[in-house]
Structure 1
């Protein structure tokens, strides 16, 4: 589907204002995936919620967004891109205000659900519109601008959320969206040309229901698995069973029900799109897993305050922005696959630097590997977005961008769950191995045992626990380093951009 080709022939596009408006909408959506994290303790007291209950402020948003994202393509066909985007921005902005006004846990969870449902289409629609309003030679730069909102938002979220919470109160974590959303809505309503909706397409209720159930159960499993000790919990086993059965029904239904199924299986016939979607899944896992590891490591293991943690992790976003601007320009002159290779190698080097961490780190030891990793991911994200959609027809673009965003989000959820589980279990294993050396036969331990001081033994156990946690974190960084290197050979599956089935669609816009 293409958002604006008919309107583009009638009047010149104000690409600058359209881009600014949709990127503001994208920014508030991606910020909200992480901005509330640091405010949870303050919300917990204000809303009289338990530790388990307050986490639903995060999970309700994530699950709702994951379920609603696949609807983007179908809704855009029925309502038109401009109308759907306007409804999404307005709904997200109102839901943000309701979050800030909430007085009970039930109210804020319901408001966060609404935020997730309305915000789900913002990221895929913004990508689709930017691809539609820009000619092929400018799409690299367009994807660089889009990538800034998508990649930098989650990185800056905790820093901005911490500042707003400390300077004002937790409600401003949500109120900040209101003026930005209002401006974005005004820009979209004023400058984005309207397009008549496509012919009415039958809604595949069974396909959507099975996919939504599978995604919702998977998200619930990933969010609560570590807390409930994974498959030792009946709830987790039920959620895993629901995920597998629902997804199996969805696959069989899609494969046997003809062309009018909910999922456009034509997307998988495009090699670039299929490979690019797998890559964005891996990037989501590696990027967000790293962001999930560093704050608890710095705060719990090394005693960094929340504000300092935000300051030393935020510069990675600067590295991403710089790389995206450079990559967007280089994409015109250099094979995008070469830029991808460079980006993956730089990202792997940053993870190798993180593998050298010790229990004593200066702020610069945290900042520079983060900047390097952000720089590498910027060089991956821009050419990957351009290549993934370079051979995709405009009619499939809205469905493709929705699937692309969904896979990035699922990758991040799986990555975060895996690394957190490995940290917990790795700490237990390393602690057991280190504690095995605390015996009466160890000369270094004998004076302590002879003295019989419980304080000394408690202090020793604390140091062993810290070292065990550090070992677990380093093993996680090593795992992500290996995963980054392993996917590099798959670059050979991607065809270079230029030509292909998208040319006709772009010719209409040029």
Structure 2
């Protein structure tokens, strides 16, 4: 019966092409919006008269709404019908984009970004489920590859597109660009997407309100702690401690509620599937690496190498194109029965080599040519990880389990990204301080080389018309700036080294846990 219901949704020819384009467009809209804002924050601060802490909420509000809604998507799809829910989500996202562009102060913008995040979170997971179910089982690897192109290229398209719009127009245009795309996506959804018939009546009086509140408390508090922990000095701040406790109790009570309530908002029993359990863990680590490295590279190129936002964004594009190019190849490999575990292992190894190369080439004056090949390699690694992890996670699920499984992998990827960004920003600060202390200890003023360097700099400043004392002061300031720059670069190098070790440690886990089940996948695909 379930198999029949599943096959009913399989589409062919023109309809499938349109559905695929619609789903990828929506996933792309959602993901580009996560990163496009980053390059516009300075302009927003200026025009809305906000502080740096205030403006960070533009990103935080969106992320919190995203991770709250993602686990609930499967349930909401069943309640309202997938097509209707998907269409309404696009409309909410599009209207909120218009309101964001018209916001007159920072808190209006934050509120509309939260609403936009509620619409956007649904787009990502529902798009993945729609694509998966529109393809016959044997072609699901290819389906995930097409979806993956959108998801991987999205975060990279954000910064250069945002940089271009902010430089040539103004920051509201990063939101206005969603409006025509949102209208097209809504019309295509209503015309072509179909809802599965789950055969369940709506149980409006049995809605798991307590589950929704506990989920929002747990995820919302966790996301806040991760986003604001570093700038608020972690557990020395009362609000951070309180929210950490709320998050922990929220999680425990949420799990208890979902296991005992008859109509849970999130079906945790789907995690009994071994493939999905491993897949969610791998998705978390993938999010950690994907968002973590996407965070470091633009900061490094802009703050240390002095590049513009547009140049920093453009640097990431060749790697993204590589990933997009890899996706159909990987999809074909899965279709031909090559075990996903092999691909994931090679993907993690490739990521390790990328981090090792980055660790080697980072200096205060690295050029584009040094960064180009490591980033191409990162693109190859992402291609080998994204699709195989997703298909491995969903390979032994069927019917509505696919949607529930996709929600878990999607949520874990987002949370992995949040954890990655929070941990990396904290460690950059800590490592920079440590390296600065070490470097200053080596700057012994009595050493001949140091004295010689300062005299040279002093002479240079004096030739520009400064007095002896001014020139000496400027020389010391320049020396201090050099130390700060060098200690930050050393901190970035440390981050890449630890990221590499994390990816290397993943390899034995996959090979150890998954040998038996991956052999089932190709056979499964033949049914």
Structures share fold, TM-score greater than 0.5: yes
Q: Which of 206, 210, 215 is the equivalent residue of 1:206?
A: 210
Residue of 410, 419, 422 corresponding to 1:414: 419
Matched residue, 2:375: 370
Spell out, residue by residue over 1:66-111, the C-alpha distance to the aligned partner (whole angstroms, 9 max, x if none).
Answer: 1111110111111111111111111111111111122222321121
User: What is the alpha-carbon distance in structure 1 between the residues aligned to residue 72 and residue 3 of structure 2?
Assistant: 17
Is 1:275 matched up with 2:297? no
Report the TM-score, using the length of structure 2 for normalisation. 0.91
Look up the match of 1:154: 155
1:298 and 2:298 correspond: no
Who is 2:126 aligned against?
125
Give the superposition deviation at 1:193.
Answer: 2.3
Distance 1:162 1:441 in 2: 47
Distance 1:10 1:393 in 2: 17
**1:474 partner SS:** helix
Residue in 1 that maps onto 2:252: 248
Match of 2:330? 327
Once the two structures are TM-superposed, the CA of residue 240 in structure 1 deviates from its matched residue by 1.1
2:98 maps to 1:97: yes
Q: 1:81-480 residue pairs with structure 2 within 5 A?
A: 81-196=82-197, 198-201=200-203, 202-255=206-259, 257=260, 259-333=262-336, 334-356=338-360, 357-447=362-452, 453-480=472-499
Question: Aligned Cα RMSD in Å?
Answer: 2.3
The alignment's TM-score, normalised by the length of structure 1, stands at 0.94
1:120 alignment partner, SS class: helix
8 Å CA contact retained: 1:267, 1:274: no
Q: Classify the secondary structure of the residue corresponding to 1:487.
A: helix
Q: Distance in 1 between matches of 2:157 and 2:276?
A: 29
Query: Which whole-Å CA distance do the structure 1 matches of 2:369 and 2:11 have between them?
Result: 54
**Aligned in 2, Cα 1:6/1:297: closer, same or farther, shift over 3 Å?**
closer
Please give the alpha-carbon distance, in whole angstroms, between the structure 2 residues aligned to 1:8 and 1:487.
36
Is the contact made by 1:80 and 1:194 (CA closer than 8 Å) also made in structure 2?
yes
> Helix, strand or coil for the counterpart of 2:35?
coil
Unaligned stretches of 5+ residues in structure 2 = 459-468
Deviation, 1:259, is 4.8
Distance between the aligned counterparts of 2:274 and 2:171, measured in 1? 45
Q: Matches of 1:93 and 1:4 in 2, distance apart?
A: 32
Determine the C-alpha separation between the residues in 1 that align with 2:451 and 2:128: 65
Asked whether the 8 Å contact 1:392–1:501 carries over to 2, the reply is no
Q: CA, structure 1 residues 93+502, in 2 after alignment: closer, same or farther (shift >3 Å)?
A: farther
CA contact (8 A) 1:394 1:502 kept: no
Conservation of the 8 A alpha-carbon contact between 2:211 and 2:258: yes
Determine the C-alpha separation between the residues in 2 that align with 1:265 and 1:359. Answer: 48
**Separation in 2 of the partners of 1:159 and 1:343?**
26
Gaps of 5+ in 1: none
Residues 3 and 68 (structure 1 numbering): CA distance in 2 closer, same or farther, change over 3 Å?
farther
Distance (whole Å) between structure 2 residues aligned to residue 171 and residue 424 of structure 1: 32
Do the aligned partners of 2:343 and 2:385 also contact (CA within 8 Å) in 1? yes
Q: 1:242 to 1:502 in 2, by over 3 A?
A: farther
Partner SS for 1:121: helix
Please give the per-residue CA displacement for 1:219-249, whole angstroms capped at 9, x wherever unaligned: 1011111111111211211111111121122
**Larger displacement relative to structure 2 (57-66 or 199-208):** 199-208
Does the CA-based 8 Å contact 1:389-1:397 persist in structure 2?
yes
Match of 2:465 in 1: none
Residues 139, 386 of structure 1: 8 Å contact kept? yes
- Give me the whole-angstrom Cα distance separating, in 2, the residues matched to 1:266 and 1:109: 35
Answer yes or no: is the 8 Å Cα contact 1:3–1:132 preserved in 2: no
Q: Secondary structure at the match of 2:230?
A: coil
How has the CA–CA distance of structure 1 residues 216 and 15 changed in structure 2, closer, same or farther, with 3 Å as cutoff?
same
Q: Contact 1:210–1:249 (CA<8 Å) still a contact in 2? A: yes
Q: Is the 8 A contact 1:5 1:132 kept in 2?
A: yes
Q: Deviations over 1:196-238 (max 9, x none)?
A: 4632343222222212101100110111111111112112111
Q: How far, CA to CA, are the matches of 1:88 and 1:446 in structure 2? A: 65
Contact conserved, 1:90 with 1:185, CA < 8 A, in 2?
A: yes
Measure, in 2, the Cα distance between the counterparts of 1:3 and 1:64: 35
Instruction: Find the residue that maps to 1:208 and give its secondary structure.
Output: helix
Q: Counterparts of 1:266 and 1:447 in 2: how far apart (Å)?
A: 70
Taking the aligned partners of 1:327 and 1:195, their CA distance within structure 2 comes to 28
Whether contact under 8 Å (2:16, 2:134) holds in the other structure is: yes
